[in-house]
Structure 1
Amino acid sequence: MISRVAVVPHPPLLVPELVGGAVDETAAVRAACLAAARELAEHDPDWTAVAVDPTGPRTVENVAGSFRGYGVDVPVSLSRRPSSVEVGLPLPALVAGWLREHAGARSVRVHLVPPDLPTADCVAFGARLAASASPGRALLVLGDGSHRHGDAAVGRPDDRAGPFDEAVRAALAGADAAALTALDPALADELGARGRAAWQVLAGVPGAWRCARSELLVPFGVGYHVAVWEA
């Protein structure tokens, strides 16, 4: 049974070495993510994680990797004693490893799902993850919101980005699984919100949830959601 959840984004800007002179501009997102990860590690040192990547479906665990492909050779690992090194480890897995190390967790097992996974399949996968977990386990959910907020947007600005990410924020703040399930995959794709499938996996994890805290940050035109759920 999963009894604690942390929802975080997975941009490279979380890693100070990768942002050069923009460390201060990215500090708020980094601090929020690290706080959520540390709460998760205090609850359970061995995390299950779910994230979205085109290489999914697959599971990554007990390996080391590097952010070299993102500009600086910052090594990370998914456990304290990784058995191998994987070149080209997907970004969500790299960030999960970086958060694990900085939060003091022992390990993280990352389940990668494809970005186009249908809602029903996401929810079913969340239920399977929960059913296979022993009591008191922790879940890390990694996913970014829309990258089309305002003039600073990475993608072309889109007026729908604000309402979309506000709906995600409200769903996370209310621990509202039904609202996460109701997110439109087509709209999320148009807005570049790659976290949609991961959030809908969370929607399938059963429990009488309450949100301990949540936050939406939008630096550089991208929506980043951070939340902590408790059973």
Structure 2
Amino acid sequence: MSSHPSPTLVAVAFCPHPPRLVTGLEGAGATQDDRLRIACGEALQTVLGLRPDVVLVVGDGPAGVRYGAGDAGDLERWGGSGQQPFAGRVRPGGRSLPLAHTVGAWLLDRAGHDGTRLGVAPGDLAEALADLPGPVGILAMGEGSARRTREAPDAPDTAATDVDVRVAAALGDGDPAALARLDPTGGQGPLAAGTTTWLAVGRALSGRSVTARLLLDGGPRDAGHLVADWLVAEVPDGVPGWLQR
């Protein structure tokens, strides 16, 4: 158990991370993508409006790695040019960001956030929260299913719609317990890359009171993009919820 003071988790923004969300990348600029950017911006303003001391960006990536100032994502991998710093300037020898953290950093830049950022993998979320002493916001980067439509890269999967419907309901209802019940391997068939992120956030907030908004459900082109924001009740004195295992 951590000896650090319990942080106040003020808010969560749930956003997807398709590369084309970043303006200037190959395929970006469609009307549907504009709707997605607007929804993500609105969710982030909910988080940033409460002035968290730290914004935690959680998304798929290697376990045990924490991303910070000087780390960057290579935009050329997704049809762009240059690098997207996670925070501050690109540092020679800095870590290479996964896609989720690259897009998350871009969204934070676009929202005007110049405060402290920390990037982690889903399995490291609880430990990171326990280490932070002050108000924390979370940017949870997670994709819905890529197999919802006939235009999907693989054949449509009826399970894909089921996964997205359940997650959308949990996000809209502010139900961390429902996210915590997700099967960590259940998204592999429907190609739902957000399952581990949603699961980690659900476990971290189980038993907490949440005020929620589902801002976008069902998404552009071939993926089920989900955008939501949560306002979370203050952590009570004593043991944080995410350490009550």
Instruction: Please classify the TM superposition score into its range, dividing by the shorter chain length.
Output: 0.7 to 0.9
Instruction: Pick the aligned partner of 2:34 from 11, 18, 27.
Output: 27
What is the alpha-carbon distance in structure 2 between the residues aligned to residue 9 and residue 21 of structure 1? Answer: 14
Instruction: Pick the aligned partner of 1:38 from 45, 49, 55.
Output: 45
1:18 aligned onto 2:25: yes
SS at match of 1:193: coil
Deviation at 1:22, TM superposition (A): 4.6
> Which has the larger Rg?
2
Question: Paired residue for 1:164?
Answer: 163
Deviant stretches of 4+, over 6 Å? none
What is the alpha-carbon distance in structure 1 between the residues aligned to residue 191 and residue 64 of structure 2? Answer: 20
- Normalized per residue, the structure richer in strand is 1
- Ranges in structure 1 where 5+ consecutive residues have no aligned partner: 114-121
What is the alpha-carbon distance in structure 1 between the residues aligned to residue 131 and residue 230 of structure 2? Answer: 19
Question: Paired residue for 2:195?
Answer: 196
Deviation at 1:76, TM superposition (A): 1.9
Alignment of 1:56-205 (within 5 A): 56-63=63-70, 64-84=72-92, 86=94, 88-106=96-114, 107-113=116-122, 122=123, 125-205=124-204
Deviation at 1:230, TM superposition (A): 0.3
- Normalized per residue, the structure richer in helix is 1
* 1:79-118 deviations in Å (ceiling 9; x for gaps): 23454464742111111110121111124211024xxxxx
Question: Paired residue for 1:117?
Answer: none
Residue type of the partner of 2:219?
V
- Alignment length, in residue pairs? 220
1:48 aligned onto 2:37: no
Identity of aligned residues (%): 26
Question: Paired residue for 2:217?
Answer: 216
Q: TM-score, normalised by structure 1?
A: 0.85
Deviation at 1:220, TM superposition (A): 1.6
The answer to whether the 8 Å contact 2:210/2:231 transfers is: yes
Residue type of the partner of 2:209?
A
- Ranges in structure 2 where 5+ consecutive residues have no aligned partner: 1-6, 233-245
Distance 1:85 1:37, change over 3 A: farther
Q: TM-score, normalised by structure 2?
A: 0.81
Distance 1:81 1:45, change over 3 A: farther
What is the alpha-carbon distance in structure 1 between the residues aligned to residue 27 and residue 195 of structure 2? Answer: 29
